[in-house]
Amino acid sequence: MDHNIPGSLQNLIGNLSECQDIGNLQISEIVSQTKFRYKDFEPYFTFNHPDSESYGRKLIFDNGNYKILLMSWKPGDYTAIHNHGYTEWGCVYFFGDAAHRLYEVEQNKLISVEKDNFSRGQVALVCGELTHLMGNSGDKDLATLHIYGSNTRKDSISENAKIFAPEHQKIFTTKGTAFLNMSKLLIQEEAELPPINPYLLEDYFGLVKPFYKRNGISLVPTNMEKQLNQFTSA
């Protein structure tokens, strides 16, 4: 094990190594009982990530069965709407307040389920089928700790992740990254995204527009407005 990994994470990894079949109940209990110190994770902060990437993403540990990453969010940073591929269990630990949207997918059609926020110290559970969006709607930098695991796979547990991109009317398959305006180099497959409820579109576009504007990508916000206008004029 990398001895530069914070002691709290080394303890967490040690506790996970004692578990044979891990589920969300176990990971939630282990993470909730671990005392993380924000400053211990400073070496993994990526708040200076390229503007073309819609959040910072840093791998800390990966033993094949599970991986631990730190995500860094500048104000206005968001993921795309996404699931988690082959992930069977996992969670997110929040070092600050984060915006969150939960969705369901039926025959590739997106349905909005819940709008909520997570606060410092909370733990949110994750599995492969969980489809959501999260980001930083505040005015201060935010960090979150992510753990993704599998009891049946020995590697590539984040692969086969689906990215739902209403602004492009596409579904992308990636190896785990969930950036907005995904680089073609990160896309393995793509498919058409069925029409989406206008209220879901309006909420989503309101969250992600700042990313496109700060990158000078005017065509995508224009396309968003056209999609919404089609509903209002119908």
| Helix, coil or strand: residue 40 | helix
pLDDT at 171: 96
> What does the DSSP assignment read for 53-101?
SSSEEEEEEE-SSEEEEEEEE-TT-BPPEE--TT--EEEEEESS-EEEE
pTM of the model: 0.93
For the cut 60, the answer to whether the pLDDT of residue 96 exceeds it is: yes
Backbone angle region of 227, left / alpha / beta, with phi > 0 → left and psi within -120 to 50 → alpha:
alpha
What percent of the chain shows pLDDT beyond 90? 78
Mean pLDDT of 128-134: 95
CA pair distance 100, 117, nearest whole angstrom: 5
* Mean pLDDT rounded to a whole number for the chain: 93
The pLDDT tens digits for 149-183 are 999 988 899 999 999 999 999 999 999 999 999 99
> What does the DSSP assignment read for 131-191?
EEEEE--SSS-EEEEEEEE-SS-SS-TTTTEEEEETTTTEEEEESS---TT--GGG-SEEE
**Residue 115 CB contacts under 8 Å (≥ 6 apart), including other chains:** 100, 101, 102, 203
Q: Which class is domain 7-195?
A: mainly beta
> How far lies 220's CA from each of 57, 126, 137, 145, in Å?
24, 30, 20, 30
Domain boundaries, the chain: 7-195
When pLDDT is cut at 50, 70 and 90, the band that residue 224 belongs to is confident
> Residue 149 class from Cβ within 10 Å (0-12 exposed, 13-18 middle, 19+ buried)?
buried
CA pair distance 105, 93, nearest whole angstrom: 25
pLDDT at 161: 96
Considering only residues 219 and 148, tell me which one the structure prediction assigns the higher pLDDT. 148
| Helix, coil or strand: residue 27 | helix
The answer to whether the Cα torsion of 180, 183, 188, 192 is positive or negative is positive
Element (H, E) at 200: helix 198-214
The answer to whether the Cα torsion of 208, 177, 74, 12 is positive or negative is positive
Mean pLDDT of 80-89: 96
The pLDDT tens digits for 174-203 are 999 999 999 999 999 999 999 888 899 999
